[in-house]
Amino acid sequence: MAGPMLIIMILAMMVLPLPPFILDLFFTFNIAVSIIVLMVSLYTKKALEFAVFPTILLITTLLRLSLNIASTRVVLLEGHTGPDAAGKVIEAFGHFLVGGNYAVGMVVFIILVVINFVVITKGAGRIAEVSARFTLDAMPGKQMAIDADLNAGLIGEDEARRRRAVISQEADFYGSMDGASKFVRGDAVAGILIMLITIIGGLIVGVMQHNLPLAEAAKNYTLLTIGDGLVGQIPALIISTAAGLVVSRVTTEEDIGEQVLGQMFNRPQILVITASILGVMGLIPGMPNFVFLLIASILGAIAYMKHNAAQVQPVAPVAPQVPTVERMDASWDDVTPIDTLGLEVGYRLIPLVDKTQQGDLIKRINGIRRKFAQEIGFLPPVVHIRDNLELRPNGYRITLKGSVIGQGESYSGMYLAINPGRVTTQLPGTVTSDPAFGLPAVWIEVALREQAQTNGYTVVDASTVVTTHINHLIHSHAAELLGRQELQKLFDHLTKQSPKLIEDLVPKLLPLSTVQKVLHNLLDENVHIRDMRTIIDVLTEHAAQTQDATELTAVVRVALGRAILEQYFPVDMDLQVMTLHHDLENILTQVMQTGTAQGGTGIEPGLADTLIKEAKVAAQKQEKLGLPIVLLVPGAIRALLSKFLRRALPQLRVLAHSEIPDSRKIKISAVIGGSK
């Protein structure tokens, strides 16, 4: 109840009459509060340590205005009785500080108001305004850095939540300070108006109601008004100074006193030069020699003590400092691990990853990882996101183990209209291509979205462009994403369900590296590994006959044949596939038997060129018919052809006869190698 009661008491002072003694208490309390605020601001190391300052600024301003109203009431009612009519505090400020001269008091009061209004408050308000703007501009980058640290596992949810709260509080603080400074400026203007109104009102009351001579009325009421104004403006000046100190300081681990002493008086040579200049000026006839020479002597003494302290400090034991120097040398801590998956964005794409700006890119990437795990069979590494000022403002790039595997541009607030191949209508915008699949596209404004959809374009937003690109690349590089760490986590997950499944295979029958190679072979050809139970069972069964990863991959593919086939042909669909001419099959089989083909490099160049050309022609026919581009070959040459044709035709899938279940019907739609 302390806060509400304080506000109610301050507001009550504007209405209820207060005796002079109570006014003295409140004026003294106001001065004490202003000094406390100034001291706290001097010893505050970070602005957020005094986050309540904008509220205090408002309360103290309201307190001063209430005291002005209460004292004005007393001055006008009792001013004719003498200089102490409004209390001893106002009398002291009206007589002692300005020598009882109301003209001098008025000038001093106006100067204080001008200093407070024009210099301190205006400067502090401007600094607060700029700081608030810069803090808001820096929020997305700070938020992204926190999300990146969280995704990397460097911090936990609690620490990330605390850091986000600090960033939000910084923006709120400087914004509040910008607004609170307007109260102080208004208070200064009100002080001048109150002074003028009180003087005029006092003259009218004194002369017309109390029949005082004009000179006596002017002296009494003006001195009381000046004292009242000074006793209010001096605390206001102190609090304005505190506000300027809080918003103008650079955040360090030192308070203002330590900063000033450490940065201004820590270099003896600067003090010596300053002392020398003052000493020379002190020797000039007509100058205040004593004052100049006194200050020059003090600065010289400080410089001498600083110099001696700098000389004495190295005499301290030097040996213990040597390990510190060695610890500052290069170490293994300087070797930072490379992110397995990374996304670097230009500064204009920061809103896509900033949750405070409704950015949903991080959420979508997490959804991609979840979907990948469901479709492929293992959880891919976390995508580490960071900004990169070297990129174009709207540019981004995707990295795998530190190497760029994809890049493009995405325009926040716009839509990408992708031409699937059947659209002829042109749209106004920036012509480009879909970064994931290379289809022709154009960046359009939001207003053209419905028109583009009506014309047959596929319209996606900026976040979808980036996430689709990432999704395409992680599927294309799935084998590289399955490292030892991911494989071990996959085995740990399987062990929870079937404890003996992995134990019987690794490392009793096969080393972990061989199992990893088999899984890589499957993933390289877009075969998912969701059915790990079947894969482990087959490897356990055949590990005694062979340790070769290629041969083990072949038997695993046979066991997974039904699942592999369903990726391209639904259960109710005939298998319309391409095949090789029997003469070409015999030649390639002989190549395999003689052992000259290693990864397809042993095929005679003329034959290899013909094989690639005819395979491309057959693939184009399949594509026009809307059929999957699948080549069916004998199992002995499947691995050879798959590896050989993969670079020329990435969309081609090579299946072995043994991988086709007996229940499926096969139709030959094209024959490769039978044109001559």
CA distance 185 to 244: 13
Q: What is the CA radius of gyration of the chain?
A: 41
Same domain for 471 and 376: yes
CA distance 507 to 164: 46
pLDDT number for residue 325: 46
Residue where the block lists tokens 């020329």: 648
Rounded Cα distance, 284 and 273, in Å: 17
Band the pLDDT of 450: cuts 50, 70, 90.
confident
Q: For the chain, give the longest Cα–Cα distance.
A: 133
CA distance 626 to 436: 21
In a domain, 541, yes or no: yes
Q: What is the pLDDT of residue 517?
A: 96
**Alpha-carbon gap, residue 331 to 220, rounded angstroms:** 78
Residues 62 and 75 in one domain: yes
Is 656 within the bounds of a domain? yes
In a domain, 333, yes or no: no
- For residue 72, the model assigns a pLDDT of 79
Instruction: Please indicate, yes or no, whether residues 103 and 243 belong to a single structural domain of this protein.
Output: yes
The answer on 453 and 500 residing in a single domain is no
Into how many domains does the chain fold? 5
β-pairing, 341-345 vs 383-387, is parallel
Considering the domain architecture, whether residues 256 and 269 belong to the same structural domain is answered as no
Residue 402 lies in a domain: yes
Residue ending a domain, choose from 431, 451, 478: 478
The mean per-residue pLDDT over the stretch 278-296 comes to 81
Asked if the structure places residue 565 within a domain, the reply is no
* Judgement on whether residues 441 and 403 belong to the same structural domain of the protein: yes
The model's pLDDT over 386-397, given as tens digits with 9 standing for 90+, comes to 998 889 999 999
Are 444 and 471 contained in the same domain?
Answer: yes
Same domain, 523 and 587: no
Any domain includes 285 = yes
Q: What is the pLDDT of residue 257?
A: 66
pLDDT digits (tens, 9 = 90+) for 589-630: 888 877 644 444 467 888 888 899 999 999 999 988 889 999
CATH number at residue 626: 3.40.50.12790
Average the pLDDT over 404-408 and give the result.
95
Q: Which has the closest alpha carbon to 172: 123, 127, 128?
A: 128
Domain boundary among 444, 478, 512: 478
In a domain, residue 421? The reply is yes
Contacts of 621 (CB under 8 A, 6+ apart): 669, 670
Assess whether 387 and 459 both reside in one domain: yes
**Per residue in 642-651, pLDDT tens?**
988 988 899 9
Residue 14 lies in a domain: no
Confidence of residue 318 (pLDDT cuts 50, 70, 90): very low
Q: What is the pLDDT of residue 85?
A: 65
Please tell me whether residues 211 and 283 are part of one structural domain: no
Please identify which residue in the block is written with the tokens 């190549």.
591
pLDDT in tens, 511-559: 999 999 999 999 999 999 999 999 999 999 999 999 999 999 999 999 9
Please enumerate in sequence order all residues whose Cβ is within 8 A of that of 190, keeping only pairs 6 or more positions apart, or say none.
65, 68
Q: Which residues contact 142 (CB under 8 A, 6 or more apart)?
A: 163, 167
Question: Structure pTM?
Answer: 0.54
If asked whether residues 288 and 357 sit together in one domain, one would say no
Residues 409 and 549 in one domain: no
Domain enclosing residue 456, as ranges? 352-478
CATH of the domain at 538: 1.10.8.540
Highest-confidence segment of 209-218, 307-316, 339-348, 498-507:
339-348
Query: Using an 8 Å Cβ cutoff, are 165 and 39 in contact?
Result: no
CATH number of the domain to which 359 belongs: 3.40.30.60
Type of residue at 296: A
Mean pLDDT of 36-59: 80
Of 478, 502, 535, the residue that ends a domain is: 478
Q: Copy the structure tokens of residue 663.
A: 């229940």
Tokens 């899984």 sit on residue = 519
